[in-house]
Amino acid sequence: MPAKMPLDAILAALFPAGHAVTVAEGLITGEGPFGDGRLVVVGIDGDTALGVEGALMLSRAVLDAVKAGESSGSRAPILVAVDSDSQRMSRRDELLGLNECLAHLAKALLLADHLGHPTVGLIYGHSAAGAFIATALATRVLAALPGADPSVMDLPSVARVTKLPLEKLEAMAASTPVFAPGLDNMVATGAVHVVLDPGQPLDAQLRALIADLPPGDIRDRLGRERGGRPVAQVIAERVVSQARGT
Amino acid sequence: MAVTSASADPTRLSWYEASARQRVAAFLDADTFQEFVGPAERAMSPHLPLFELPRAFDDGIVVGRGRLDGRPVLVAAQEGRFMGGAFGEVHGAKLVGLLRAAGAVTPAAVLILFDTGGVRLQEANAGETAIAEAMRAIAEVRAAGIPVIGLIGGRAGAYGGGGLIAGTCARLAVSEGGRISVSGPEVIETNKGAEEFDSRDRALVWRTMGGKHRRLTGGADAYVADTVAAFRQAALALIDRAPAFDLATLEAEQARLEARLARFGACRDGAEIWVRLGVNDPDAVPAMTDAAFAETVAGVPEASHDAR
């Protein structure tokens, strides 16, 4: 697997003229000049687990960008850069309503999209489970860098839950993208739209993505075309067609 | 699917015990349910055979249209007894399709009867992506002014990505047996040890993520008895007061959740939070009757809000 591109290098490539993006306790917030305007960046660095405080700090930053967009009429694109662990697994986080905090962060990103902010995910390291759903997967388009390692659950944990031998799972994973961790499998599923080329300027690649945002949610179509989710699009369309009585 | 007349009496039928099909049939106006992509279509998981696991003709979720007190609604019901109600490729696609249809058929509401452990690990990537698609679709449905209401009282609860979808809904009704959480007790115990969370301590599970705790802290908007009739009444009441999906709502939710962390961030147990919410006798909460609990909730301002 290629090495993970560090956040510093990513930000330097995105903002050749400099930026005001900072990382505190693994949480990324800030912005920088981008094209004729600016690019807002939120995210998670350093394989950090996302808990209740982190989710609310990121949602605060997203809502601030939305507020600024509503008052200025200029709706900045929002980049959600992710190298995270899963959601923080603790009794305290669940006691305080982690599901509400993660859903709130996702809703903030979905609202930003709805109000006209281009939203782009960028997975450059790990991410998993609830942290992935609440951040990068809540954007309109999700890009990855080589070296990214998204997953739902690692294979040893899958082996524990499914009670299948790890060697068997590893063999199955080689031919079946639907359950196995890894970037290639998330691309095949349609969750990751595109893998960027770190050898080319990242800012230009991001601008091209924003200029050519898919009109809606095309992830199930991508999953069918790429073979990682063979039937989801057909099933969803059949439900829509029967609901419309056509 | 036939439901015996005795078990179909919605005032007696336990939501927790009922199957997804029994819930839908008894929840909606009699004989109004029309299923989409029903079992006759054999829309089964293409992946479970690889794991030598049995499949279901409906992949563990029932979706369709019906009427609720005469009003047209779309409804999805997860079957917690098949693969723990977990999201696989077909299961997730049926929910996503139903939500996408809502924009075109403009029902009075979309109702999601949750009963799920989260992502089906045998189809993890497909399930995870479908959950993200469902949340995006819910945002669009809500933005179009159609309430999306979640009902939680099944044996599998609303865990993992199911908890996140629930948090995206405009309103939630929960019963005592309903649990809402991201990481389940077993997952926390497996990863962090039994001293962090003893998953066999059922009372602890209930105090941390059970229906009463969620209702008291405003994580759910209605608390109902464990009958289909009670969920129906709650859904009817919630449809007419669903918050809009806009900046004002999310700003209010931001403030609500920040205030919760500021007030209760140091609490170690649900009972400590209940005391700070003004509940006089927190130890009595778990055993409280539904009527007494409703009275208690009425005295807790934080429990009821439009910030979701």
Say which of A104, A189, A236 has its CB closest to residue B254: A104
Whole-number pLDDT of residue A155? 82
Q: Has residue B215 got a pLDDT over 60?
A: yes
- Contact between chains at B101 and A59 (C-beta distance less than 8 A): no
Strand partners, B179: B210
* Mean per-residue pLDDT of chain B: 95
- Contact between chains at A91 and B197 (C-beta distance less than 8 A): yes
A31 belongs to a structural domain = yes
Using an 8 Å CB-CB cutoff, list chain B residues near A186: 125, 129
Whole-number pLDDT of residue A160? 79
pLDDT digits (tens, 9 = 90+) for A48-71: 999 999 999 999 999 999 999 999
Q: Has residue B6 got a pLDDT over 50?
A: no
Q: Has residue B5 got a pLDDT over 70?
A: no
pLDDT digits (tens, 9 = 90+) for A140-182: 999 999 999 998 877 877 887 778 889 988 888 888 889 899 9
A124 belongs to a structural domain = yes
- Contact between chains at A95 and B139 (C-beta distance less than 8 A): no
Strand partners, A41: A30, A79
B266: confidence class by pLDDT, cuts 50, 70, 90: very high
The shortest C-alpha distance from A45 to chain B (Å) reads: 21
CB A229 within 8 A of CB A187: no
Say which of B63, B125, B139 has its CB closest to residue A228: B125
Whole-number pLDDT of residue B31? 96
Q: What's the CATH number where A209 sits?
A: 3.90.226.10
A67 belongs to a structural domain = yes
- Contact between chains at A95 and B164 (C-beta distance less than 8 A): no
Whole-number pLDDT of residue A135? 98
DSSP state of A179: T
Domain encompassing residue A90:
7-146+196-214
- Contact between chains at A220 and B90 (C-beta distance less than 8 A): no
Phi, psi of A20 (to 5 degrees): -125, 50
Whole-number pLDDT of residue A246? 65
DSSP state of A215: S
A152 belongs to a structural domain = no
pLDDT digits (tens, 9 = 90+) for B228-255: 999 999 999 999 999 999 999 999 999 9
ipTM of the complex: 0.97
Q: Has residue B7 got a pLDDT over 90?
A: no
Round to whole Å and give the CA distance between B258 and A53: 8
b/e burial code for range B118-154 (CB count within 10 A of at least 16 → b): bbbbbbbbbbbbbbbbbbbbbbbbbbeebbbbbbbbb
DSSP state of A12: H
A13: confidence class by pLDDT, cuts 50, 70, 90: very high
Higher pLDDT, A2 or B170: B170
pLDDT digits (tens, 9 = 90+) for B275-299: 999 999 999 999 999 999 999 999 9
Residues 53-112 of B with CB under 8 A from A: 63, 65, 74, 89-90, 92-94, 96-98, 100-101, 104-105
DSSP state of A6: P
Q: Is B4 on the interface with A (CB under 8 A)?
A: no
Q: Angle, nearest 10°, between helix axes A7-14 and A202-211?
A: 70
Using an 8 Å CB-CB cutoff, list chain B residues near A176: 47, 50
Q: Which residue of chain A is at minimal alpha-carbon distance from B199?
A: A91
* Residue whose entry in the numeric block shows the structure tokens 């059970």: B210
What is the fold of B20-180+220-245? 2-enoyl-CoA Hydratase; Chain A, domain 1 (3.90.226)
A244 belongs to a structural domain = no
pLDDT digits (tens, 9 = 90+) for B95-127: 999 999 999 999 999 999 999 999 999 999 999
Domain total in chain A: 1
- Contact between chains at A94 and B188 (C-beta distance less than 8 A): yes
* Mean per-residue pLDDT of chain A: 95
pLDDT digits (tens, 9 = 90+) for B30-66: 999 999 999 999 999 999 999 999 999 999 999 999 9
CB neighbour list of residue B294: distance below 8 Å, 6 or more residues apart: B223
B4: confidence class by pLDDT, cuts 50, 70, 90: very low
Two tokens, residue B203: 């009372």
To 10 degrees, the CA torsion angle through B126, A54, B207, B162?
-20
Whole-number pLDDT of residue B8? 67
Number of Cβ within a 10 Å radius of residue A237: 16
C-alpha distance from residue B267 to each of A96, A98, B263 (Å): 9, 15, 9
pLDDT > 70 fraction of chain B, expressed in percent and rounded: 97
Whole-number pLDDT of residue B110? 98
A72 belongs to a structural domain = yes
Whole-number pLDDT of residue A6? 97
pLDDT > 90 fraction of chain B, expressed in percent and rounded: 93
- Contact between chains at B247 and A115 (C-beta distance less than 8 A): yes
Whole-number pLDDT of residue A173? 87
A94: confidence class by pLDDT, cuts 50, 70, 90: very high
DSSP string of chain B, one letter each residue? ----TTTT-TTT-BTTTS-HHHHHHHHSSTT--EEES-GGG----SSGGGGT----TTTTEEEEEEEETTEEEEEEEE-TTSGGG-B-HHHHHHHHHHHHHHHHH--SEEEEEE-B-SB-GGGHHHHHHHHHHHHHHHHHHHHTT--EEEEE-STT-B-THHHHHHHHSSEEEEETT-BB-SS-HHHHHHHH-TTT--TT-HHHHHHHHBHHHHHHTTSSSEEE-SBHHHHHHHHHHHHTTPPPSSHHHHHHHHHHHHHHHHHHTT--SHHHHHHHTT-S-GGGTTT--HHHHHHHHHT-GGGS-S--
Q: What is the mean pLDDT of residues A34-38?
A: 94
